[in-house]
A and B are shown apart, each in its own frame.
Chain A
């Protein structure tokens, strides 16, 4: 716990007062290049990246959970095998490729990144929604039906709450992977920490590369831990055995 708070403090300190870390990064530069990224505000870039990731995650969640509910209903059951195959196939598409083919369609900037992150984020959430809904104990469903719950009431009061831990896990995984993937968005001019890294690559400035990479990595780890803590706080004791 202490480690996490310290990491968070370090991250915030760096983002708010980057120049104070200059001496730390100076040895990594050559020929007097600036040790701290100065072509943009690091805090703003970090927030921009986080915003993009969160918007994509919100959209992914809505669509993936909706689809997951659909294919586990009797009306949608015929789509289940296909959706499973699509999930398998979709996981083989590298996010870079998805990004690359959306650029000509929607132009540069935030949009292709959002689309790529949205598409890539669907899979863990959808997979977990389906698994979660299908692993509801059969006698609980039988009891719910026998008591006179309509299909909608059963879905909302029983099936979804029981599947929620797994769905949340999927959302968490998707979010964290996307934080890292979003850096590639900078290759298509999306605002984010990727541009720090790319600037470093272009000017051979290892300090920049480290800054971009470490901040992103730290953000990803802290997000993961924060969401885990959130889930623990809100979930009730659900023992399914």
Chain B
């Protein structure tokens, strides 16, 4: 005779609700700055929104809080969290609109601590709900795509135009597109080159164990050199190369700019891919390889059709690590003139303009996160196909 499970308050929900409520009460929702440079005046949620707006927003948040505390269904929790995110996003956009005199291009309305904490709590709630749902790879990619489309649409539509970050974007619009492209070229280009070189090296290391420790050791050494140092170190030889061979200069190889960054990223990418290739090949069952050879496949065919295919999930994991790592490291390339979203980050640091920093940092995080989700889904699909 067991009693039915009593309704207990969800601890995570309680924690997040407490933090969110404290944030709303103690921290500013938006910060109003007369121009870019002066420090800002804090404003609370209730101050800046019209009565109905504040009520709608707080009501949605309260609903999300109640759901977080009591509801058990993952889908309901996810829906409530996303509604909350929507409400908070619209509220901050509305606040920006409310505080900006029409036609004014100088004032800056930035999201305040309360906004960030609320967003964080709601996203944590959503993440928890998604994790509990244990979605398959396809669903995860779908959720990501949905989120990106909706966010992209809202940004394109101009909902957030009066928000400080978007103001910075407006000033730097053309450059932004260029830097995003540059960022992706560098990240993906160096990855591509690395895969082409690292895969054969990995296969070699697997086949010839004696080479393994030497090569892995050397690559490990490369990893310990901090990124800015490696970027910088490569500048001299590349500069010399460009000076010696005019053709090289035309190809884009030079001592400054993207070239040293690309080479450094390429070098950093080698270790994870080589290491994962070796591990992946090691884990291929000997029995499968024996059977294939017994069937009359040539070694090349065995490699291509059996070993690499079975090792693919592990190799792809290495590629995923590199891609996410690269997207982060390209940020530093900005220091040597390599372009990319890092230019905004470092400019923002230099000018103490957080909005500029965010203009660079947020897309970087979104790119890295999306890459991770996409590649993880790909790895899982490959793994399932095998199992």
A: which residues have CB within 8 A of B?
28, 78-79, 81-82, 84-86, 88-89, 91-97, 100-101, 103-104, 176, 179-181, 183-184, 187-188, 194, 197-198, 200-201, 204, 206, 209-210, 212-214, 216-217, 220-221, 224
CB-CB under 8 A for A213 and B232, given A81-B128, A100-B348, A221-B221:
yes
The distance from the CB of B365 to the nearest CB of chain A, in whole angstroms, is 6
Stretch from B92-100, B242-250, B278-286, B322-330 that touches the partner: B322-330
| A135 CB → nearest B CB, Å | 19
Enumerate chain A residues within 8 angstroms of B24, measured Cβ to Cβ: none
Q: Check A95 against B328 for contact (C-beta < 8 Å).
A: yes
Interface residues of B in 92-132 (CB under 8 A from A): 124, 127-128, 130-132
Determine if A217 and B349 form an interchain contact, defined as CB atoms under 8 angstroms apart. Answer: no
Interface residues of B in 198-244 (CB under 8 A from A): 221, 224-230, 232-233, 235-236
- Among the 9-residue stretches B289-297, B299-307, B350-358, the one with 4 or more Cβ atoms under 8 Å from chain A is B350-358
Q: Which residues of B contact A224 (CB under 8 A)?
A: 224
Q: Sort A-B residue pairs by CB-CB distance and give the 3 closest, nearest first.
A: A213-B229, A94-B328, A209-B232
DSSP class of B's interface residues: helix, strand, loop or mixed?
A: helix
**Once bound together, how far apart are the Cα atoms of A81 and B12, in whole Å?**
12
- Across chains A and B, the number of contacting residue pairs, with CB separation under 8 Å, is 141
Chain B residues with CB under 8 A of A96 = 328, 331-332, 342, 345
Question: Is there contact, CB below 8 Å, between A91 and B324?
Answer: yes
The answer to whether B225 and A209 touch across the interface, beta carbons within 8 angstroms, is no
Between A86, A101, A184, the greatest number of chain B beta carbons within 10 A of the residue's beta carbon is seen for: A101
Asked whether, in the complex, the Cβ of A100 is within 8 Å of the Cβ of B236, the reply is no
Q: Of the candidates A81, A89, A104, A180, which one forms a contact with B225 in the assembled complex, judged by CB atoms under 8 Å apart?
A: A180
CB distance A180 to B360 under 8 Å?
no
Contact B368 A93 (CB under 8 A): yes
Q: What residue in chain A is nearest B15 (Cβ atoms)?
A: A79
**Which residue of chain B has its CB nearest to the CB of A196?**
B229
Question: Which of A78, A97, A210 meets B11, CB within 8 Å?
Answer: A78
Task: Indicate which residue in A88, A97, A104, A184 contacts B365 across the interface (CB closer than 8 Å).
Answer: A97
A198 touches B233 (CB 8 A): no
In the bound complex, what is the Cα–Cα distance between A220 and B224 (angstroms)?
6
Q: Contact: A176 with B345, CB < 8 Å? A: no
- Which residues of B sit under 8 angstroms from A92, Cβ to Cβ? 324, 365, 368-369, 371-372
Residue from A85, A86, A180, A221 within 8 A of B226 (CB atoms): A180
A199 to B365, CA, bound (A): 28
Q: A96-B328, A97-B331 are in contact. Are A217 and B357 (CB under 8 A)?
A: no
Docked-complex contact B369 and A201, CB < 8 angstroms: no
Q: Using Cβ atoms and an 8 Å threshold, which residues of chain A touch B327?
A: 94
Give min CB distance, B232 to chain A, whole Å: 4
Minimum CB distance partner of A86 in chain B: B127
B324 contacts which chain A residues (CB < 8 A)? Answer: 91-92
Interface secondary structure of A, over-half rule: helix
Q: Count chain B CB atoms within 10 A of each CB in A104, A194, A212 and give the residue with the most.
A: A104
* B224 lies within 8 A of A180 (CB): yes
The answer for the CA separation of A201 and B332 in the assembled complex, in Å, is: 12
Cross-interface CB contact of A176 among B10, B224, B349, cutoff 8 Å: B224
Are B228 and A78 interface neighbours, CB within 8 A?
no
Q: Contacts A85-B131, A94-B329, A213-B233 given: A197-B365 contact, CB under 8 Å?
A: no
- Name the residue in B11, B349, B376 with the highest tally of chain A Cβ atoms < 10 Å from its Cβ: B349
> A85-B131, A221-B224 known; A197 and B361 CB under 8 Å?
no
Q: Tell me how far the C-beta of B298 lies from the nearest C-beta in chain A, rounded to whole angstroms.
A: 38
User: Given A94-B329, A187-B346: A197 and B372 within 8 A (CB)?
Assistant: no
Chain B residue contacts of A221, Cβ below 8 A:
221, 224
Do the beta carbons of B332 and A79 come within 8 Å of each other? no
Given A97-B364, A183-B227, output 7 extra A-B contacts at Cβ < 8 Å.
Answer: A28-B236, A78-B11, A85-B131, A92-B368, A93-B368, A201-B232, A206-B232
Could you say which residues of chain B place their CB within 8 Å of the CB of A180? 224-227
The winner among B221, B225, B327, B372 for most chain A CB atoms within 10 A is B225
Q: Are B368 and A209 in contact (CB under 8 A)?
A: no
Chain A residues contacting B335 (CB-CB under 8 Å) are 187, 198, 201
A-B contact pairs, 22 of them (CB 8 A): A28-B236, A78-B11, A81-B131, A82-B127, A86-B127, A89-B369, A94-B327, A94-B329, A96-B328, A96-B331, A96-B332, A97-B328, A97-B365, A100-B348, A100-B361, A103-B354, A198-B228, A201-B232, A206-B235, A216-B224, A216-B225, A224-B224
Q: How far is the CA of A181 from the CA of B332 in the complex (A)?
A: 11
- The reply on B336 being an interface residue by CB < 8 A is yes
A189 → chain B closest CB, angstroms:
10
With both chains docked as a complex, state the minimum distance between the C-beta of A88 and any C-beta of chain B, in angstroms.
7
User: Which chain A residues border B368 with CB–CB below 8 Å?
Assistant: 92-94
Q: Which residues of the partner chain A approach B354 to less than 8 Å between Cβ atoms?
A: 101, 103-104
